[in-house]
C-alpha cells in the first residue's frame, strides 16, 4: 500500500557568527545551513527541527503556512540550540503544535538554556537575534509520533555530535531524518567527541544504514545536495579520518590542516577548526581504532 505521507526540507540561510575563533587564514564565520523537515499527510504535518534566529524561524513559519497543512507536532532530534530555538516562533503561528523530544535530549536542552551556555555561547554569537522566549520540549512518551495513522519513530543514537541524540524514522516512506548523526557535505561538529564517543557515532551510522532508508535528511547540508543514503558512508569516512588523524597529530593546527587537505570543499571549515580545538589530542592510543 502506498503511504500517503510526503516530506520536504527547508534549509536555513547561512548567517554570520560573531566570534574570534576563526580558522587559520579566515576573516569571518557563518553558521552551517540547518535543515528543517516537514513530514505531511493529507491534512496534518509534523516538523522536525527548527532554526536559530527569530528571522530564520519567521521564514520557516511562512514555509510551513504555505504548505497549507495543520501542524500538529514539532520534534527536535537532539538538544543543541540551533535545532530548537525556533519553537516559540513556530508555536505562535501554529498554537496547536506540541513540542516533543526524547527525555535525554530534553536534559541537553536544559543545559543549553543555562546561563553559561545560552549567554556565553549562543547570545554572544547571535546578539539580539535569539528569541527571548525559548521553549523546552515535553517528553515524547512511547517513542512514536502518529501522523494520520502512520508511525514516525524516534530512535536513540547515543553520543554523536553531542550526547543523547536521536533520529526520526518513517518506515512507510523509507525516510530517516537524522539530525546531526549524519552530515551532508558540511564539516562535522566533532568538538564534543572523544575516541570512545566516536565509536558510538560510527555504531549509530551503522544502525541508520541497517534501516535501509531511501532518503536521509542531514541536520546540516549543502544547499542543493540530494538527501541520498550515500551520505551515511561519507559521514563514517570523515569521522574515521578525523579519529585517525587526531591520534597522531601534535597540535590542533596540524589536525585542522591535515583534515582540511582531505576535505577542502566541505561547507564551513570553521566547524573543523572548532572540532580540532575541542578534542584532546591523544597520542597514547593506536590509530585505526574504529
| 69 or 236: CB nearest Zn ion | 236
| 84 or 94: CB nearest Zn ion | 84
Q: Within 10 Å of residue 250's Cβ, how many Cβ atoms?
A: 9
Binning the chain into helix, strand and coil, the percentages to the nearest 5 are 35, 25, 40
Alpha helices in 119-251 (DSSP H): 124-125, 195-210, 230-247
Q: How far is the CB of 160 from Zn ion (least distance, A)?
A: 8
Q: How far is the CB of 33 from Zn ion (least distance, A)?
A: 13
Q: How far is the CB of 148 from Zn ion (least distance, A)?
A: 29
In 3D space, the residue among 212, 151, 179, 175 whose CA is nearest the CA of residue 8 turns out to be 175
Q: How far is the CB of 162 from Zn ion (least distance, A)?
A: 6
| 60 or 188: CB nearest Zn ion | 188
When asked if residue 80 is in the footprint of Zn ion (CB under 5 A), the reply is yes
| 99 or 201: CB nearest Zn ion | 201
Query: DSSP letter at 81?
Result: G
When asked if residue 161 is in the footprint of Zn ion (CB under 5 A), the reply is yes
When asked if residue 150 is in the footprint of Zn ion (CB under 5 A), the reply is no
Which of these segments, 79-87, 102-110, 141-149, 192-200, binds Zn ion (CB under 5 A)?
79-87
Cα torsion 5, 151, 46, 175: sign: negative
Q: How far is the CB of 175 from Zn ion (least distance, A)?
A: 19
Which of these segments, 77-85, 90-98, 104-112, 210-218, binds Zn ion (CB under 5 A)?
77-85
Backbone angles phi, psi at 151, to 5 degrees: -105, 135
Residues in region 179-238 near Zn ion by CB under 5 A: 180
Burial class of residue 45, CB neighbours in 10 A (0-12, 13-18, 19+) = buried
Q: What Cα–Cα distance (Å) separates residue 229 from each residue in 174, 183, 213?
A: 10, 11, 7
Cell 585505526 sits on residue: 288
Which of these segments, 54-62, 91-99, 157-165, 272-280, binds Zn ion (CB under 5 A)?
157-165
In 3D space, the residue among 128, 118, 119 whose CA is nearest the CA of residue 54 turns out to be 128
| 41 or 269: CB nearest Zn ion | 269
Which of these segments, 118-126, 172-180, 209-217, 259-267, binds Zn ion (CB under 5 A)?
172-180
| 36 or 40: CB nearest Zn ion | 36
| 40 or 178: CB nearest Zn ion | 178
- Residues with Cβ within 8 Å of 123's Cβ and at least 6 positions away in sequence, in order, are 130
Residue nearest to Zn ion (CB): 80
Query: DSSP letter at 29?
Result: -
Q: How far is the CB of 77 from Zn ion (least distance, A)?
A: 8
In whole angstroms, give the CA distance from residue 165 to residue 204.
10
Q: How far is the CB of 2 from Zn ion (least distance, A)?
A: 33
Binding site for Zn ion (CB under 5 A): 80, 161, 180
Amino acid at each position: 500500500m502506498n503511504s500517503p505521507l510526503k516530506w520536504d526540507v527547508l534549509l536555513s540561510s547561512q548567517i554570520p557568527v560573531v566570534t574570534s575563533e576563526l580558522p587559520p587564514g579566515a576573516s569571518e564565520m557563518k553558521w552551517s545551513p540547518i535543515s528543517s523537515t516537514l513530514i505531511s499527510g493529507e491534512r496534518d504535518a509534523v516538523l522536525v527541527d527548527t532554526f536559530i534566529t527569530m528571522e530564520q524561524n519567521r521564514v520557516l513559519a511562512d514555509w510551513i503556512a504555505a504548505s497549507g497543512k495543520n501542524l500538529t507536532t514539532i520534534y527536535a532530534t537532539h538538544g543543541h540550540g540551533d535545532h530548537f530555538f525556533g519553537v516559540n516562533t513556530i508555536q505562535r503561528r501554529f498554537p496547536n503544535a506540541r513540542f516533543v523530544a526524547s527525555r535525554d535530549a530534553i536534559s541537553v536542552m536544559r543545559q543549553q538554556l543555562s546561563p553559561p551556555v545560552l549567554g556565553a555561547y549562543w547570545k554572544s554569537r547571535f546578539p539580539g537575534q535569539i528569541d527571548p522566549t525559548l521553549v523546552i520540549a515535553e517528553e515524547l512518551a512511547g517513542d512514536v509520533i502518529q501522523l494520520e495513522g502512520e508511525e514516525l519513530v524516534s530512535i536513540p543514537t547515543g553520543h554523536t555530535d553531542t550526547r543523547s541524540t536521536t533520529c526520526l524514522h518513517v518506515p512507510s516512506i523509507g525516510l530517516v531524518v537524522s539530525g546531526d548523526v549524519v552530515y551532508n557535505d558540511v564539516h562535522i561538529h566533532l568538538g564534543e567527541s572523544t575516541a570512545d564517543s566516536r565509536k558510538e557515532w560510527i555504531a549509530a551510522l551503522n544502525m541508520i544504514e541497517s534501516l535501509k532508508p531511501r532518503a536521509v535528511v542531514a541536520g546540516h547540508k549543502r544547499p542543493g545536495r540530494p538527501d541520498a543514503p550515500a551520505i551515511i558512508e561519507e559521514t563514517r569516512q570523515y569521522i574515521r579520518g578525523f579519529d585517525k588523524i587526531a591520534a597522531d597529530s601534535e597540535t590542533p593546527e596540524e589536525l585542522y590542516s591535515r583534515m582540511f587537505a582531505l576535505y577542502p570543499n566541505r561547507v564551513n571549515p570553521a566547524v573543523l577548526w572548532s572540532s580540532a580545538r575541542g578534542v584532546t589530542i591523544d597520542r597514547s592510543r593506536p590509530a585505526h581504532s574504529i
